[in-house]
Amino acid sequence: MKPTAILLLHCPDQPGIITEITKFITDNMGNIVYLDQYVDRQDGMFFMRIEWEMDEFVIPREKLEEYIQTLYATRYHMTFNLYFNDVKPRMAIFVSKMSHCLYDLLARYNAGEWNVEIPCIISNHEDLRYVAEQFNIPYYVWSINRDHSNKDEVEQAEMELLNKEKITFIVLARYMQILSERIIKAYPHHIINIHHSFLPAFVGAKPYHQAWERGVKIIGATSHYVTTELDAGPIIEQDVVRITHKDTPESLVLKGRDLEKIVLSRAVTKHIERKILTYHNKTIIFS
């Protein structure tokens, strides 16, 4: 695969943006291999993802961000992020005691489905160390006291590890602890959670039991970016499965776990492929 640059941007909608960006790329010997754009007419905002080959591109990659900032960012009031496909994202996985999402993530990683590195798995329990050992990934445990008296100390140790391993994003694979504002602010819109419900319905604990008590006919799972507001961050992916009056809370949990794995992996895939733009509390997901 040839090295490519990926530009994600949003700005107030106005004529000429696509022409300017594509001309800049082609004038500098870049071959465009992907272009997708969207206009939110209600807010008057323009969103775009564009990718081009870098093997004959005139501008050195270390200067490219500076060029885009100087030529277009101020002029168009543009917010942008620039990535390169040969720089692998580094993903940390946080887990507690449930293994279904962790196994699915690691199986996809081991099969080479994702252009990503997983330097560490972090947990508040020893229970899943054997899974990490099966995949030869370092496993770290920091337990938080019931009264949370050591939470600051634990998160300081976790942050030191994340910085040491140069982690670029975090996946909460049924991690049953609420992250502090400190970690969330260190990784804005780079912490992906899986919630075992079709948000915004049934937030908080035991959503399948809530769904069964309510008598709903579908249950769902939601993957979203983590914000300081519980289960309320920008939604990346959702899916549902039908249920009937014959289902029990236990059967809902089993059906839901299958769904959680799929929904979380879809969200992680889109993040790794740099196909997500966040704006306010929504996401634009490029195809």
Q: d(Cα 90, Cα 115) in Å, to the nearest integer?
A: 9
Q: How far apart are CA 197 and CA 210, in angstroms?
A: 10
- The upper half-sphere exposure of residue 275, i.e. CA atoms within 13 Å in the direction of its Cβ, equals 15
SS3 at position 69? helix
Does residue 138 contact residue 132 with C-beta atoms inside 8 Å? Answer: yes
Q: Quick check: pTM over 0.75?
A: yes
| Active-site hit among 231, 239, 247, 258 | 231
Contacts (Cβ under 8 Å, ≥6 apart) of 29: 56, 57, 58
Could you read off the pLDDT tens digit of each residue along the chain, which spans 287 residues? 799 999 999 999 999 999 999 999 999 999 999 999 999 999 999 999 999 999 999 999 999 999 999 999 999 999 999 999 999 999 999 999 999 999 999 999 999 999 999 999 999 999 999 999 999 999 999 998 888 889 899 999 999 999 999 999 999 999 988 898 999 999 999 999 998 877 767 676 677 777 788 888 888 899 999 999 888 899 999 999 898 889 888 888 888 899 999 999 999 999 999 999 999 899 999 99
Dihedral angle over CA of 196, 201, 207, 211, nearest 10: -120
Active site residue 40: no
Written as one letter, the residue type at 188 is: P
Alpha helices by DSSP H, listed for 54-205, are: 61-68, 74-76, 100-110, 129-134, 151-164, 181-186
Burial class (CB in 10 A: 0-12, 13-18, 19+), 142: middle
Domains, the chain, ordered by start: 4-84 (3.30.70.260), 90-285 (3.40.50.170)
Q: Note the pLDDT of residue 208.
A: 76
